[in-house]
Chain A
């Protein structure tokens, strides 16, 4: 546990690089946030805490009308959209320019 802050700092310093693994932060967040909100029907605060994996995203937006979640984290952007009641949410293969 003592090494955790150093580990996190290293990740942040490295976040300027496009490391594919770092997509996990934004992609897991948007996918699980989308499912939590639009499939499970929980509120944003619960879902925000639930969807966080390993590290928090730096920013996110929820479009309630189109049922889409976007997020940025560690140099990558993620997007997930709600498809239907039966098929729930799906992660989309879209990279947005870093805001």
Chain B
């Protein structure tokens, strides 16, 4: 299988282009009235004010960053975290993993409907042969998987994968699961599918060192992200499901890239410093393929077809991005008080990167909500009301 890609040279940005990419912060700090953010801050950082007697350990917010039109409107850290501290992203990492796949597919001249089997021998039996990269990115491969955490760890494939029997080779566990549905027809959120994708990505590289460096060369360094850590399983495959780390401002850079459809300005800041009248940006670099970004936010048909325990599923999904869409057959959405245009990377213990494309705004919230659940709908509603003022 390696021979398929052996002849494909990794495309590197030309040196002159690479040097022109904007690496200084694209964000500016602005002074904003503290009273404007009072309720937002209180709900995030003072959970005791809201806890009822049933909540023994309420949610814990470690960071909040709110940006609109590249202006930092609100930023606060707590519990020992700062704007420099890398934070666990948990499943927010999945959206970064998808970006890597988008980059690599374009380099290899493959499209999303390529069967995984074309790259990796892992899915080579029966119905598994029909699983495409799109199916995996849409969490709709049909592979049986139980995605539970602390609440029900006994039958959880995630807990098994990360900590018990399969941490040496997480992708292999996923590929070995039986088929429960026809590929593309049933949405079943699975950390295993992301790690299988990361294993498939590994198989497109001959050398481990090239794979190890790939997220930095192609994504982090071009964006000026310098706080990232991305842990691997025992076989040297990125744990794309869960083990990314970076600080809030760096995650905001990734969010900004998605808001800008994969494009990033060349040295905008430097130009402005040298010439304050240089308000027009002359050129952009395509960091992520624009078509892949567009597809990332398209509603996966499987999410509207899927019924869980007889009830329609409120969750809508793109390519490793959560959406807030209403399906044609039901008028419910994940966050009912927020617009359908929302795009979200959501993680365990309350991690979130939320994009408001119509408002050109984004929100990062890091947490350690080990017991009580942070009410994201209520909190994001407050944020949204401020963003549209």
Binding site for B on A (CB under 8 A): 20-21, 23-24, 27-28, 31, 35, 39-43, 46, 50, 53-54, 83, 85-93
5 closest A-B pairs by CB: A88-B231, A27-B163, A88-B229, A28-B163, A24-B163
CB of A50 within 8 A of CB of B368, answer yes
B126 sits at the interface (CB 8 A) = no
B232 nearest CB neighbor, chain A only: A87
- What chain B residues lie within 8 Å of A53 (beta carbons)? 150
Pick from B79, B86, B154, B233: contact of A21, CB below 8 A.
B154
With A87-B229, A88-B230, A91-B234 known as contacts, the answer to whether A39 contacts B212 (CB < 8 A) is: no
- What chain A residues lie within 8 Å of B154 (beta carbons)? 21
Q: How far is the CA of A41 from the CA of B232 in the complex (A)?
A: 19
B178 sits at the interface (CB 8 A) = no
- What chain B residues lie within 8 Å of A54 (beta carbons)? 150, 153
Q: How far is the CA of A4 from the CA of B231 in the complex (A)?
A: 34
- What chain A residues lie within 8 Å of B216 (beta carbons)? 86
- What chain A residues lie within 8 Å of B164 (beta carbons)? 20-21, 23-24, 27
CB-defined A-B contacts under 8 Å, sample of 21: A21-B154, A21-B164, A23-B165, A24-B164, A28-B163, A35-B231, A35-B243, A35-B245, A39-B231, A39-B245, A50-B370, A83-B231, A85-B229, A87-B232, A88-B231, A88-B243, A89-B231, A90-B233, A92-B234, A93-B167, A93-B168
With both chains docked as a complex, state the minimum distance between the C-beta of A1 and any C-beta of chain B, in angstroms.
10
CB of B165 within 8 A of CB of A91, answer no
CB of B163 within 8 A of CB of A39, answer no
Interface residues as binary, B144-168 with A (CB distance below 8 Å gives 1, 0 otherwise) = 0000001001100001001111011
A31 nearest CB neighbor, chain B only: B163
B229 nearest CB neighbor, chain A only: A88
Q: How far is the CA of A14 from the CA of B262 in the complex (A)?
A: 53
CB of A24 within 8 A of CB of B234, answer no
With A35-B245, A40-B86, A88-B245 known as contacts, the answer to whether A28 contacts B162 (CB < 8 A) is: yes
Interface residues as binary, B74-90 with A (CB distance below 8 Å gives 1, 0 otherwise) = 00000110000111100
- What chain A residues lie within 8 Å of B229 (beta carbons)? 39, 85-88
Name B345-376 residues within 8 Å CB distance of A. Answer: 368, 370
With A40-B245, A54-B153 known as contacts, the answer to whether A90 contacts B232 (CB < 8 A) is: yes
With both chains docked as a complex, state the minimum distance between the C-beta of A84 and any C-beta of chain B, in angstroms.
9
- What chain B residues lie within 8 Å of A92 (beta carbons)? 234
CB of A39 within 8 A of CB of B86, answer yes
Q: How far is the CA of A54 from the CA of B232 in the complex (A)?
A: 24
With A40-B86, A40-B87, A90-B232 known as contacts, the answer to whether A20 contacts B165 (CB < 8 A) is: yes
Q: How far is the CA of A54 from the CA of B85 in the complex (A)?
A: 27
CB of B163 within 8 A of CB of A91, answer yes
Q: How far is the CA of A54 from the CA of B153 in the complex (A)?
A: 9
With both chains docked as a complex, state the minimum distance between the C-beta of B148 and any C-beta of chain A, in angstroms.
12
CB of B80 within 8 A of CB of A46, answer yes
Q: How far is the CA of A28 from the CA of B348 in the complex (A)?
A: 15
CB of A46 within 8 A of CB of B79, answer yes
Beyond the given pairs A24-B153, A87-B212, A90-B234, 13 more chain A to chain B contacts, judged by CB atoms under 8 angstroms and listed by A's residue number, are A23-B163, A23-B164, A23-B165, A35-B88, A39-B231, A46-B80, A53-B150, A88-B245, A89-B231, A90-B233, A91-B234, A93-B168, A93-B234
CB of A86 within 8 A of CB of B212, answer yes
- What chain B residues lie within 8 Å of A41 (beta carbons)? 85-86
With both chains docked as a complex, state the minimum distance between the C-beta of A43 and any C-beta of chain B, in angstroms.
7
Q: How far is the CA of A85 from the CA of B233 in the complex (A)?
A: 15
Q: How far is the CA of A91 from the CA of B165 in the complex (A)?
A: 11
Q: How far is the CA of A28 from the CA of B245 in the complex (A)?
A: 17
Q: How far is the CA of A40 from the CA of B351 in the complex (A)?
A: 15
Q: How far is the CA of A97 from the CA of B113 in the complex (A)?
A: 49
- What chain B residues lie within 8 Å of A23 (beta carbons)? 163-165
CB of B86 within 8 A of CB of A91, answer no
